[in-house]
Amino acid sequence: KRCIEHGNSKVLIADDIEYYKNIRNYNKPSETPYTFNTKTHYGCPYDCGLCPDHEQHSCLTVVEVTDRCNLTCPTCYAGSSPTYGRHRTLDEVKAMLDTIVTNEKEPDVVQISGGEPTIHPQFWEILDYAKSLPIRHLMLNTNGIKIAKDFAFAERLKTYAPDFEIY
């Protein structure tokens, strides 16, 4: 990680070497996507999308509903800010979610992300639509500002359980 104020830093994945080695025992055999949405022309990484060369389905699919954020963190991996980029339209987000369901049939995990998804003007419509689909587990990737400042917002999020989590 890199920060203008604090410089470079590293992140420790595990401080126990035996634990780190043991977690590899929990890998499961790969599953291919239900359908593919592109053809193989040049092979990875040159063909974009789920082509017939993919040996693994999408374990976790991230749907970025907006480029914008209510913060301006210098270490943001998305480069988001209150003025950068745009919100995806509801139709664009629905099309992305529909493509995921077409490719996976019953996606394991879909994460609504951004930028900061809670500032999207159609945030609730997006969650409602996602919950209407055969997605096994829905996640919300958020910085938590909106949740911390708006009790009613947090209470409404609770209604999306089960199979919903805030990340």
Each of the 167 residues of the chain gets a pLDDT tens digit; together they read 677 788 888 878 789 999 888 888 877 777 777 777 778 888 776 777 777 777 777 889 999 999 999 999 888 878 888 888 999 999 999 999 999 999 899 999 999 999 999 999 999 999 999 999 999 999 999 999 999 999 999 999 999 999 999 99
Backbone φ and ψ for 118, nearest 5 degrees, come out as -70, -10
Q: Checking phi first, is residue 58 left (phi over 0); if not, alpha (psi -120 to 50) or beta?
A: beta
Give the count of domains, the chain: 1
Give the structural domain span for 158.
2-166
Contacts (Cβ under 8 Å, ≥6 apart) of 62: 111, 113, 141
**For residue 75, what is the domain's CATH number?**
3.30.750.210
